[in-house]
Structure 1
Amino acid sequence: NGGSDGDPQQRQQRQQELLWYRASAPAHRRVRESPLSSDAIFRQSHAGLLNLCIVVLIAVNSRLIIENLMKYGLLIRAGFWFSGRSLADWPLLMCCLTLPIFPLAALMAEKLAQRKLISEHVVILLHIVITTSVLVYPVVVILKCDSAVLSGFVLMFLASIIWLKLVSFAHTNYDIRMLSKSIEKGMTHGISIDPENIKCPTFKRLAYFMLAPTLCYQPSYPRTTYIRKGWVVRQLIKCLVFTGLMGFIIEQYINPIVKNSKHPLKGNFLNAIERVLKLSVPTLYVWLCMFYCFFHLWLNILAELLCFGDREFYKDWWNAKTVEEYWRMWNMPVHKWIIRHIYFPCIRNGLFKGVAILISFLVSAALHELCVAVPCHIFKFWAFIGIMFQITHIYFGRQGKKKSITGRTSNT
């Protein structure tokens, strides 16, 4: 019976297919948009176009690499990584090795406050002296020594990270002490407080915090259960490869362009613009390699070795529609630190949001200026002005977003 029921159905299906094959069968049956039209483009998959762009990008850059090698030869040398001048930077190395003294001093101040041997005003004063010294000390060493720019930058970068961590350590523990006093007085009735987050600082907690890939101190962090050793090795290899790629781009492309460029105020203005545009592409590649090496590879390696669970070191900043979104997404450790220790305290103290944003950018601009100006021994405030100029970008970005009709603005 099953076969006899199936035969009419199969015959009907074949007849229907024959109708579709006839020349009189309609070719247009419903209203449809072109794939690239404004109404349909955001509903389409663009994976093929992305693959085409990658192929074109590889082809274009391969030609540029061959052309550069034919013109200059292989310029990268061992001195890029280590040179005789590096041996003269031993004062910077000694300064770097003595930086852990400041976190220990901060811990001692907290221990004295915990035992109520000193008042809150004295604790705050001690933390101000400690955090100020952690920046002044390397600045003095770098300015006194004729060190390489890269060595000075690494030292200032480490000192800035320690400064950010110590500010968070002092601010968080002060808030924990105030919260503990409120609990003792019964002023937190009905508020859920995790006991793990109000524990007193210990050497173990401080050491973990100083090594962890975060700038915000808390007594306990979300942790993973084990270390993936093979994964760590693969990430280290990637880190070495991309670091070498950065060195290759700097030595092979950026340095020759800079050396062959005239002073922008002495030469032709159009030539200056051409040189800047020529520098923009390799500089962008170096920045992307740096971002991938540090924020993805290195911070994830540290997190894996320390079983640090929260690994949101960046968000999809490449989809940011405004400068404001970009600044909130590309560097999450610094963003969380600024929100927690600058922006929110300003709001709690009654300041307007605009003033809080201005103060946040002032702190960021000052740190950027230190990290750039001190190693280069050039105090022109270019980094400071560049960061502060982002405030105008944020303002106009907000205005453009309000006036946007479709809500689709281009990526930053």
Structure 2
Amino acid sequence: AALQCPKDSGRAVLGVGNLCAVALALALAPFPVLSNARLFLENLIKYGILVDPIQVVSLFLKDPYSWPSLCLVILSNVFVLAALHIEKHLAAGSLSEHSGSVLHSLNLLTVLCFPALVVLTVSSATPVGALFALLTYTIVFLKLFSFRDVNRWCRERRAKDESARLGELGTSPAPAKHNAASGQKTANGDVAEKSVSYPANLNYKDLYYFLLAPTLCYELNFPRSPRIRKRFLLRRLVEMLFFTQLIVGLIQQWMVPTIQNSMKPFRDMDYSRIIERLLKLAVPNHFIWLIFFYWLFHSSMNAVAEVLRFGDREFYRDWWNSESVTYFWQNWNIPVHKWCLRHFYVPMIRSGCRRWMARTAVFLLSAFFHEYLVSVPLRMFRLWAFMGMMAQLPLAWFVGKFLQGNYGNAAVWISLIIGQPIAVLMSVGSMPDPCFIQRWLSIPGGLLGVPGSLCYAGVSCGAKKQHRILTSG
């Protein structure tokens, strides 16, 4: 991972310097965001301490006796086992390629549709719990898609080798081993230590190792580290715990009041106040996004990889040095980038599609999953996430054509700092139910000028503290 490599340290932090310049420009702009420290202190003075770790539980569970999201996650094993047994029948020859392809397609389609239908119909599913379940199913979908493709490639290679052997007279070569990593680099970037041949890979242990591994690209043989480094693992676990609490605290203390105070300007269409709230939200949103990136791609993925002795640790590259939008999307999330390249972009190019068409298709796929993970948990279909992703195409063209070097890098940072809060405010502002955000964030009714009886029958004992969110505006 880029943060673990000391070489070329000057180049490695160039993008961070540009981030500081952009953040300083925002801090000195003639708006309420004068400085990050001032903003945080102002928040504490206005609202007091709003951090409540216990409140987080209510984001996952509405009814302590109903756990729909957890049940959904457990049920995902049904689709995993279905994919494994389809592959076993295909390897044994008891199922035709066409029938297997149809069954795989139906299984993958159900992986996406089934949890969405459950979330939309079961009222006890909370947005955060539903997001966790849908994210799990999305990962399962991508992994099973890769699992299907790689095993199909192995069967095609086996059929080709058998045809070659039949065409040779007077020779009896040993059966070829059909694996994805015999003496060469795998799609995950390293050389496997030992070889597993097809179809010996079709077993529960192999498949569930892949499902737990921090990669989306299936291999018959994954690179493995020699041992578990206990100190390294302990550091990653401590980071995970610390940054989880920090993210939750920043959201409760910094993000929620700003979002709450943005409701009235949206209802009144007060554009100057909307812009002011947008800039006020940009700084905490970006801090949380950066912390979340480190928590996910550096701490969490490295912890999982260490436990599984998974050898490929390239989860991200130096995206902070991006001088183009394209470079950013190719380097900030390496597991997804490798999957898109291997199972979507390259097959389209080989089928005769032009590169711009394949790139557009990749962004369309990404936009679909962004919308899927936002609209379904919120039960609100406004296509803001979809349009935000598709807007990356003209932005990438503009930055690539007119901005170079540091200017391009600054443009990427600005798009990240400003673009995300725009999507957040547009999504929240277009919610048809004015009480929804209150129920979601466990905030008592009546704080936004909405009668409390519309949201809850009563007001909790924390209402006086939360009332400062409105009165401090």
Q: How does 1:89-168 map to 2 (within 5 A)?
A: 89-146=66-123, 147-168=125-146
Q: How far apart in 1 are the matches of 2:83 and 2:235?
A: 37
> How far has the Cα of 1:284 moved from its partner?
0.4
Seen in structure 2, the aligned counterparts of structure 1 residues 89 and 374 have a Cα distance that, compared at 3 Å, is farther
Q: Which deviations, in whole Å up to 9, do the C-alpha atoms of 1:95-137 show, x marking residues without a partner?
A: 1111111111101000000110010001111111111111111
Do the aligned partners of 1:243 and 1:289 also contact (CA within 8 Å) in 2?
Answer: no
> How far has the Cα of 1:193 moved from its partner?
7.9
Structure 1 unaligned runs (5+)? 1-41
Q: Which amino acid counterpart does residue 71 of structure 1 have in structure 2?
A: K
> How far has the Cα of 1:226 moved from its partner?
0.3
Seen in structure 2, the aligned counterparts of structure 1 residues 285 and 194 have a Cα distance that, compared at 3 Å, is closer
Seen in structure 2, the aligned counterparts of structure 1 residues 95 and 321 have a Cα distance that, compared at 3 Å, is same
Q: How does 1:161-200 map to 2 (within 5 A)?
A: 161-186=139-164, 195=182, 196=195, 199-200=198-199
Seen in structure 2, the aligned counterparts of structure 1 residues 172 and 193 have a Cα distance that, compared at 3 Å, is closer
Give the SS at the match of 1:157.
Answer: helix
Q: How far apart in 2 are the matches of 1:232 and 1:111?
A: 36
Q: Which deviations, in whole Å up to 9, do the C-alpha atoms of 1:134-166 show, x marking residues without a partner?
A: 111111111112222111111111110000000
> How far has the Cα of 1:314 moved from its partner?
0.3
Q: How far apart in 1 are the matches of 2:204 and 2:73?
A: 20
Of residues 139-148 and 108-117 in structure 1, the stretch that sits farther from structure 2 once superposed is 139-148
> How far has the Cα of 1:79 moved from its partner?
3.9
Q: How does 1:186-335 map to 2 (within 5 A)?
A: 186=164, 195=182, 196=195, 199-200=198-199, 201-261=202-262, 262-264=264-266, 266-335=268-337
Q: Which deviations, in whole Å up to 9, do the C-alpha atoms of 1:228-266 show, x marking residues without a partner?
A: 122212211111111111111111111111112224252
Q: How far apart in 2 are the matches of 1:166 and 1:194?
A: 19
Q: How far apart in 2 are the matches of 1:358 and 1:67?
A: 44
Q: TM-score, normalised by structure 2?
A: 0.71
Q: Which amino acid counterpart does residue 181 of structure 1 have in structure 2?
A: A
Give the SS at the match of 1:272.
Answer: helix
Q: How far apart in 1 are the matches of 2:53 and 2:181?
A: 53
Q: Which amino acid counterpart does residue 72 of structure 1 have in structure 2?
A: Y
Q: How far apart in 2 are the matches of 1:398 and 1:164?
A: 30
Q: Which amino acid counterpart does residue 315 of structure 1 have in structure 2?
A: R
Structure 2 unaligned runs (5+)? 1-9, 28-33, 169-178, 183-194, 413-473
Give the SS at the match of 2:228.
Answer: coil
Match of 1:391 in 2: 393
Q: How far apart in 1 are the matches of 2:322 and 2:159?
A: 42
Q: Which deviations, in whole Å up to 9, do the C-alpha atoms of 1:298-357 show, x marking residues without a partner?
A: 000011001111110000000010000000000000000000000000011011001111
Seen in structure 2, the aligned counterparts of structure 1 residues 227 and 87 have a Cα distance that, compared at 3 Å, is same
Q: TM-score, normalised by structure 1?
A: 0.81
Seen in structure 2, the aligned counterparts of structure 1 residues 398 and 89 have a Cα distance that, compared at 3 Å, is farther
Q: Which amino acid counterpart does residue 392 of structure 2 have in structure 1?
A: Q
Q: Which amino acid counterpart does residue 410 of structure 1 have in structure 2?
A: G
Q: Which deviations, in whole Å up to 9, do the C-alpha atoms of 1:44-74 show, x marking residues without a partner?
A: x99xx99x99xx99x9544433332221111
Q: How far apart in 1 are the matches of 2:240 and 2:231?
A: 14
Match of 2:47 in 1: 72
Q: Which amino acid counterpart does residue 150 of structure 2 have in structure 1?
A: T
Q: Which amino acid counterpart does residue 78 of structure 1 have in structure 2?
A: P
Seen in structure 2, the aligned counterparts of structure 1 residues 387 and 198 have a Cα distance that, compared at 3 Å, is farther
Seen in structure 2, the aligned counterparts of structure 1 residues 94 and 193 have a Cα distance that, compared at 3 Å, is closer
Q: Which amino acid counterpart does residue 372 of structure 1 have in structure 2?
A: V
Question: Identity, % of aligned pairs?
Answer: 37
Do the aligned partners of 1:86 and 1:148 also contact (CA within 8 Å) in 2?
Answer: no
Match of 1:26 in 2: none
Q: How far apart in 1 are the matches of 2:42 and 2:74?
A: 44
By relative contact order (CA 8 Å, sep 6+), the higher-ranking structure is: 2
Seen in structure 2, the aligned counterparts of structure 1 residues 372 and 88 have a Cα distance that, compared at 3 Å, is farther
Seen in structure 2, the aligned counterparts of structure 1 residues 64 and 394 have a Cα distance that, compared at 3 Å, is closer
Seen in structure 2, the aligned counterparts of structure 1 residues 198 and 384 have a Cα distance that, compared at 3 Å, is farther
Seen in structure 2, the aligned counterparts of structure 1 residues 378 and 161 have a Cα distance that, compared at 3 Å, is same
> How far has the Cα of 1:198 moved from its partner?
5.5
Match of 2:420 in 1: none
Give the SS at the match of 2:266.
Answer: coil
Q: Which amino acid counterpart does residue 75 of structure 1 have in structure 2?
A: L
Seen in structure 2, the aligned counterparts of structure 1 residues 397 and 180 have a Cα distance that, compared at 3 Å, is farther
Seen in structure 2, the aligned counterparts of structure 1 residues 137 and 71 have a Cα distance that, compared at 3 Å, is same
Matched, 1:363 2:365: yes
